[in-house]
Structure 1
């Protein structure tokens, strides 16, 4: 005999993560390393910051090449607040020059 059990969607583990636990992040990639450069509460703010950072890299591209430093590549991603490392702080647009890309 087969017993059908009710499926309860009220369980916390089955509910999707609330949107307030997610934030928009500008992520910097330098080679295989990935670091959250800045965080924003809205996507338009993250896009604006990402574009500004890309412009800074473009403006200093010649300097970065002469210094033999790899230029960071920026993009945006939706992340959970819990993904931020402990002690996280925003990164300057050209943070690779200060050795802050760890």
Structure 2
């Protein structure tokens, strides 16, 4: 049977992404094999944003919002790299 796709390869093609957004800009912050790990990472990132809220205000940097979304490996940009906790480096959202 030439058209048969194994279920394990289909499952490996899907993952959970923590997505950072500021305004209309969206970046994939991190990827995980399961939803629970992605939710834990999102909670940690949100805690970091709360911890640095005064710093973000003083630098006039808008805080990123985080969400967890299912994603396919094909949707991941080839040059993707994980984002730092606050979602930016050197004052620029990356």
The normalised TM-score by structure 1 is 0.78
Q: What stretches of structure 2 of length at least 5 have no aligned partner? A: 5-9
Contact 1:69-1:96 within 8 A present in 2 as well: no
RMSD of the alignment, in Å?
A: 2.0
- Higher Cα radius of gyration: 1
Greater strand share, structure number: 2
Distance 1:99 1:59 in 2: 17
Q: Residue 66 of structure 1 aligns with which residue?
A: 58
Q: Residue 81 of structure 1 aligns with which residue?
A: 73
Aligned-pair CA distance for 1:101: 2.5
Q: What stretches of structure 1 of length at least 5 have no aligned partner? A: 1-10, 13-17
SS at match of 2:12: helix
Across the two proteins, how many residue pairs are aligned to each other?
89
